[in-house]
Chain A
Amino acid sequence: DAGITQSPRYKITETGRQVTLMCHQTWSHSYMFWYRQDLGHGLRLIYYSAAADITDKGEVPDGYVVSRSKTENFPLTLESATRSQTSVYFCASSEGRAQGDTGELFFGEGSRLTVL
């Protein structure tokens, strides 16, 4: 089915472990994003990508690594998970930023990560 899918939907890990959250979109959207959602903080941008092999930091990038070797995939890696990274993570995509494009975001259903 067309859309944006995230995996895993739920993950429990321990402090210090490496975790990778996967994101796949079938629309061939140029832009992809990773947000984290925490109570009282809303949606905060971690990293975004304008195209394959082009990534840039968002508001809260520390402790996270991203890559985008293919247009459709945008994995997010926590190299050494900390308790403060317990959160719900959302991947999103949007079309290009040509003149007049509003950049509507299409979100996945989220990955709930718990770091013990």
Chain B
Amino acid sequence: QQQVKQSPQSLIVQKGGIPIINCAYENTAFDYFPWYQQFPGKGPALLIAIRPDVSEKKEGRFTISFNKSAKQFSLHIMDSQPGDSATYFCAASKVGYGGSQGNLIFGKGTKLSVKP
């Protein structure tokens, strides 16, 4: 019930393409769904996040789509650039909960390569 399943494990696209990374969760108590971006040799950093009261959120070239009934959410990167090459992690948690459900549960990550 605590798992977050992420796919694909790796993804190669050409510059300008639109990579899509998918995640599915099981715990219906989760109400916060962030994506973290990690460059080689660095720690992950928050990229964009969504709450279940909206179905889509855009920040620049990054968009999260959220489907509450299917318990799925995805990250789309518009007009991808070589600088977007990184590992992307989806995650889920319950907001404002002091116990373990308040801890982020991460997917296993997707390594994205954007070719020039």
Contact = CB atoms under 8 A, between A and B. Distances in A.
A51 to B, nearest CB: 10
A56 B49 CA distance: 26
Contacts, number: 62
Given A40-B9, A103-B95, A105-B104, 20 more contacts: A33-B103, A42-B6, A43-B106, A45-B103, A58-B100, A97-B96, A97-B98, A97-B102, A100-B95, A100-B96, A101-B96, A102-B34, A102-B49, A103-B93, A103-B102, A104-B34, A104-B49, A105-B36, A105-B46, A109-B41
Interface in B48-79: 49
Contacts of A44: 106
B100 A56 contact: yes
26 contacts: A40-B108, A42-B109, A43-B44, A43-B109, A50-B98, A58-B100, A58-B103, A97-B97, A100-B95, A101-B96, A102-B49, A102-B95, A103-B32, A103-B95, A103-B102, A103-B103, A103-B104, A104-B46, A105-B44, A105-B46, A105-B104, A107-B43, A107-B44, A109-B41, A109-B42, A110-B43
A104 B9 CA distance: 24
Interface string A84-103: 00000010100001111111
B45 A107 contact: yes
A90 B9 CA distance: 21
B30 interface: no
B23 to A, nearest CB: 11
Interface in A66-116: 90, 92, 97-110
A110 B41 CA distance: 8
Interface residues on A, range: 20 to 34
A97 B99 CA distance: 9
Contacts of A92: 43
Contacts of A104: 34, 46, 49
